[in-house]
Amino acid sequence: MSLVRLALRFALPHVDIMAHRRCLFFGPHPDDIEIGAGATAARLAREGRAVRFVICTDGRYGSRTIPPEELVAVRQEEAISAAKVLGVDDVVFLPFSDGADYDVDSMLRAMAGEVADFQPDIIFAPDPCVASECHEDHLNVGRLARRLACAAPYEGIMASLGAHSAPVDAIAFYMSAKCNVVVKSKGAMKAQLEAISKHHSQAIGSDIITYLRLRSVQYGLSRLCLHAEGFRALGTTEMHCLPERG
Mean pLDDT of all residues in the chain? 94
Q: Is 21 helix (H, G, I), strand (E, B) or coil?
A: coil
pLDDT in tens, 136-194: 999 999 999 999 999 999 999 999 999 999 999 999 999 999 999 999 998 999 999 99
pTM score: 0.94
Q: Which of 29, 56, 54, 28 is nearest to 41 (CA)?
A: 54
Question: Whole-angstrom Cα distance, residue 57 to residue 173?
Answer: 18
pLDDT in tens, 36-75: 999 999 999 999 999 999 999 999 999 989 999 999 999 9
Per DSSP (E only), the strands in the chain are 22-27, 50-55, 90-93, 122-126, 170-174, 181-184, 228-235
